[in-house]
Structure 1
Amino acid sequence: MSISTSSVQDTIVALATSPGANGAIAVIRLSGPQAITITNAVFRGKDLTKQDSHTLHFGTIRDGEQIIDEVLISLFVAPHSYTKEDVVEISTHNSMYIIERLLGLLIKKGARAARAGEFTLRAFLNGGLDLAQAEAVADLIASENKASHEVAMNQMRGGISNKLQDMREQLINFVSLLELELDFGEEDVEFADRSQFETLVRDLKTHVGKLIQSFAYGNAIKQGVPVAIIGKPNAGKSTLLNTLLDEERAIVSDIAGTTRDTIEEAINLDGITFRFIDTAGLRDTEDTIEAIGVNKAKEKVKQAKVLLYLYDDRDSTAEEVVTQIKGLYYPGLVVILVRNKIDLEGGYHPNAMDEQIKEALFSDYTNSIVAISAKDGESVEGLKKVLLDKIRDMAVEDQQIITNTRHVEALQLSLDALNEVEQGLGMLLPGDLLAHHVREALRHISSITGDIDVDRDILGTIFGKFCIGK
């Protein structure tokens, strides 16, 4: 998206509702200094230029004397609108013919077709939203579950921005004192209390660290939590997937190696989307196709956030389970061991194998063994609860949640700069060098909300991901 001064001074128009959607009404939106006069030129009803903001007006849209449609006009007079400009929304009948006629007519009268995300871009450029809030608009539109909706709504309403603004103000205050010292350098005056600054830097590092930590949870609920179901052939992986989905999605057979490719399905558990991946059984095989499936299973584990490792203690040893978990594990992977087929044992009974697995894995790899019968829905409910608890444990209590990769990268750079400040304080660096590192931290934090000059190419990338009309 190309952004220039002139491009935010003209009047833009776009269809604001989904094109081709089944529904009676479509909404066409205009924003800009001529939005009301352009609409008024084709509207037959009240004189829109003389009406108050937040009013509705019924009439017809005409091309000359030809009536195109009966419409309802919603007026939002600047600055009382989403974009902080004059905004008009035209509710018309949802006919592609009518929509195209109206858009063509409004463009002929002086409007310009809006680019993707341009309405929200104007809201940002006109001070209606900061950059983090603007990005949350796109997340809100894309939210597919309760958890991602709540996080996006909180960010759009300024949750992250308020926390970052507080950090900015503290850094700005201190860097101002440091730079004031430079103006009185010859008089050896110290305006900035170094001990207070050390405490401030430690507190800021803690806050930034928690925000970075929250990204694991935020990204998981935004994208859906990928869960790889892994185990030996006939461990019950496909049966578990079918029970989770409450449908016969995967083929279940007593023949080892039935599942040769991955099967992926998503379900919503208490507002969080989980993307379950059923994989081929892990074993050495000379069957070329099955071997490909085993390799794909291992690749899926590398992409997963959670690993459900199914095993049957009558068909596996503690050594096998431990060896496979250690071979599949990577830092950050949540491992849940699932001892399956307890129905064949008359219920769950702790045994020596459990203790051997716990001794080998519980310190560094996992702390969860869940006993189930994969074909019993009531039994699997306990596994669902453990899954939810594990994901919620990623969230930091009373902490804002980061879901955007750009934000977490900026926070990591600000944390690096704060580390430099802390080291500089310990080395008794002079104020000008400390101020340099503080400004670096400030610059990275401010880039999240757009409180500094943001590269126009970055804005184009951000808003270019929006749908047309938003």
Structure 2
Amino acid sequence: MLNNDSIVALATASGAGAIAIIRISGQDAIVIANSVFKSVKNKDLTKQKTHSLHLGHIVDDNKTLDQVLVSVFKGSNSYTGENTVEISCHGSTYIQQQIIQLLLRKGCRMADAGEFTLRAFLNGKLDLSQAEAVADLIASDNEASHQIAMQQMRGGFSNEIAKLREELLNFASLIELELDFAEEDVEFADRTQFNELINRIEFVLKRLVDSFAIGNVIKNGIPVAIVGEPNVGKSTLLNALLNEERAIVSDIAGTTRDTIEDELVIGGIGFRFIDTAGIRETKDYVESIGIKKTFEKMEQAQVVLYLVDSYELSVVSLEALKIEIEKVKNQFPLKPLLIVINKMDLLSEEKIKLIETQLTTDNTQLQFISAKNKIGIDDLKNELLSFVNTGALRNNETIVTNTRHYDSLLKALDEIQKVKYGLETNLSSDLMALDIREALYHFGTITGQVTNDELLGNIFANFCIGK
């Protein structure tokens, strides 16, 4: 699959800017760049040291296209593991296109999406999980997702997997050796040590599989549904959380008839807030569609904020509210539910105590706020953050965020548990060897030791062109 031809692409974002970088990679990259580059000191790029920078002009016959800086990276010392040149030119879109078209005429071809990183993988500069982390790093939009992508790109995840695979492979070799001496009935693999290894691998795999729950929400953002009756301040709360007038606010019940979504980063974690239509009995057809969507969004959300207008609460309405809260809990028993009491600035101390007494239970959390006056909003944000288990993130533990890795880990764990059962039941070595091979296969698919063109095509198709 590895091509030796030279590829070219714009490495910086498309469009006009102060500076643009055009990247060339391939066996003839330096020769091609040298053919269009005129150094101010008459340097020959093919004779320059790797990691060197040169000032000059890009020239098309006798026409000067731009004054540029050219960076030269030779062979295995480059990002791709092959000769690479980066041309830093002025950011005019006209200049960018003129230089790229010139390089195409000189023998380059346009790079496919992710082809520079694909070549880095094929040339052994990165393993597959590190290559995928490059895309995650580019896409990261908060501190937590950036931290995880950086850890994975530095090889934290792949090193952990590679170490487990190597230890398992060593024992697998001994098991396979036993098959060659089956008639002699000898054991080369110490079953006690092998059992300890299998238990350790199972423990690590379970931890990595469990980490996907937090890793997935960190990568994709945590959806939070803001629900409640009409006109209790849901849109006002969304605006207060985002600190901008994102949703229309009015005194008319049913103003929000469709869901409104926006994102906010709290403590380095991305949250996606969903302002929903008010829940009530209605004959309005359009509003009823919005209410139906509210329940759909509650189903999709990780956390539900149930907003209550505290000023309208009485002893009787508190009893009715408790029934409604129980309905939501019964419908979504596994979702964290936070009861948010709005308009606290209008409440007396006696009424606050009444609400706390009536609504507080072992599994019901209350948060008092004033969305209009932005009182208690920071406390609410901290409460939301508490729903996210960031302990692994703070301790710099490996966190799985990639669905493909998660799937391979689940399959590897299943095979390891089969091996463990085989050890406990004295299963024959030839049958255990089959399960071990399957486990090794799934380990290998994570780092790219086992791969195919279709898999690579699917992974790198989602990269940006210049990477």
Pairwise TM-score range, normalised by the shorter structure: over 0.9
1:334 corresponds to: 336
Letter of the structure 2 residue corresponding to residue 341 of structure 1: K
1:15 corresponds to: 10
Letter of the structure 1 residue corresponding to residue 324 of structure 2: E
- Deviation, 1:191, is 1.8
Letter of the structure 1 residue corresponding to residue 71 of structure 2: S
- Deviation, 1:181, is 1.3
1:92 corresponds to: 89
- Deviation, 1:16, is 0.8
- Deviation, 1:376, is 3.6
**Residue 32 of structure 1 pairs with residue 32 of structure 2:** no
Choose which of 348, 361, 379 in structure 2 pairs with 1:358: 361
Instruction: Indicate conservation of the 8 Å contact 2:9/2:100, yes or no.
Output: yes
2:434 corresponds to: 436
Instruction: Indicate conservation of the 8 Å contact 1:266/1:273, yes or no.
Output: yes
- Deviation, 1:240, is 1.2
Q: Deviations over 1:153-193 (max 9, x none)?
A: 11111111111111111211111121121122222211222
Distance 1:249 1:104 in 2: 44
**Residue 379 of structure 1 pairs with residue 376 of structure 2:** yes
**Residue 43 of structure 1 pairs with residue 37 of structure 2:** yes
Q: Secondary structure at the match of 1:182?
A: helix
Letter of the structure 2 residue corresponding to residue 337 of structure 1: I
**Residue 264 of structure 1 pairs with residue 255 of structure 2:** no
Distance 2:52 2:205 in 1: 44
1:199 corresponds to: 196
Q: Secondary structure at the match of 1:141?
A: helix
2:181 corresponds to: 184
Answer with 135-144 or 240-249: which moved more.
240-249
Distance 2:461 2:365 in 1: 43
2:325 corresponds to: 321
Letter of the structure 2 residue corresponding to residue 236 of structure 1: G
Q: Secondary structure at the match of 2:376?
A: helix
Instruction: Indicate conservation of the 8 Å contact 1:133/1:157, yes or no.
Output: yes
- Deviation, 1:355, is 5.8
Choose which of 382, 389, 397 in structure 2 pairs with 1:392: 389
Distance 1:206 1:284 in 2: 50
Distance 1:346 1:209 in 2: 50
State the TM-score, normalized to the length of structure 1: 0.92
Choose which of 118, 139, 154 in structure 1 pairs with 2:115: 118
1:142 corresponds to: 139
Instruction: Indicate conservation of the 8 Å contact 1:407/1:448, yes or no.
Output: yes
Distance 1:185 1:354 in 2: 73
2:125 corresponds to: 128
- Deviation, 1:443, is 0.9
Letter of the structure 1 residue corresponding to residue 78 of structure 2: S
Q: Secondary structure at the match of 2:102?
A: helix
Aligned pair count reads: 455
2:348 corresponds to: 346
Distance 1:61 1:256 in 2: 65
Using the aligned pairs only, state the percent identity. 53
Answer with 135-144 or 194-203: which moved more.
194-203
Relative to 1, partners in 2 of residues 1:247 and 1:44: Cα closer, same or farther, differing over 3 Å?
closer
Relative to 1, partners in 2 of residues 1:138 and 1:173: Cα closer, same or farther, differing over 3 Å?
same
Q: Deviations over 1:201-224 (max 9, x none)?
A: 222122111111111211212122
Distance 1:66 1:83 in 2: 31
Relative to 1, partners in 2 of residues 1:301 and 1:109: Cα closer, same or farther, differing over 3 Å?
same
Relative to 1, partners in 2 of residues 1:195 and 1:335: Cα closer, same or farther, differing over 3 Å?
farther
- Deviation, 1:398, is 4.9
- Deviation, 1:393, is 4.7
Instruction: Indicate conservation of the 8 Å contact 2:56/2:67, yes or no.
Output: yes
Answer with 402-411 or 195-204: which moved more.
195-204
- Deviation, 1:290, is 1.3
Instruction: Indicate conservation of the 8 Å contact 2:360/2:366, yes or no.
Output: no
- Deviation, 1:285, is 1.8
Relative to 1, partners in 2 of residues 1:300 and 1:55: Cα closer, same or farther, differing over 3 Å?
same
State the TM-score, normalized to the length of structure 2: 0.93
Instruction: Indicate conservation of the 8 Å contact 2:130/2:155, yes or no.
Output: yes
Q: Deviations over 1:80-128 (max 9, x none)?
A: 1100101000111222222222112212111111111000000000000
1:59 corresponds to: 56
Distance 2:54 2:356 in 1: 75
Instruction: Indicate conservation of the 8 Å contact 1:136/1:153, yes or no.
Output: yes
Distance 1:145 1:33 in 2: 38
Answer with 187-196 or 162-171: which moved more.
187-196
Letter of the structure 2 residue corresponding to residue 180 of structure 1: L
- Deviation, 1:445, is 1.5
Letter of the structure 2 residue corresponding to residue 342 of structure 1: M
1:450 corresponds to: 448
Answer with 124-133 or 237-246: which moved more.
237-246
Distance 2:89 2:396 in 1: 45
2:419 corresponds to: 421
Relative to 1, partners in 2 of residues 1:398 and 1:29: Cα closer, same or farther, differing over 3 Å?
closer
Letter of the structure 2 residue corresponding to residue 39 of structure 1: A
Structure 1: runs of 5 or more not aligned: none
- Deviation, 1:245, is 1.5
Q: Secondary structure at the match of 2:66?
A: strand
Relative to 1, partners in 2 of residues 1:62 and 1:420: Cα closer, same or farther, differing over 3 Å?
same
Instruction: Indicate conservation of the 8 Å contact 1:318/1:357, yes or no.
Output: no
Relative to 1, partners in 2 of residues 1:303 and 1:154: Cα closer, same or farther, differing over 3 Å?
same
CA-atom RMSD in angstroms: 1.9
Instruction: Indicate conservation of the 8 Å contact 1:31/1:88, yes or no.
Output: yes
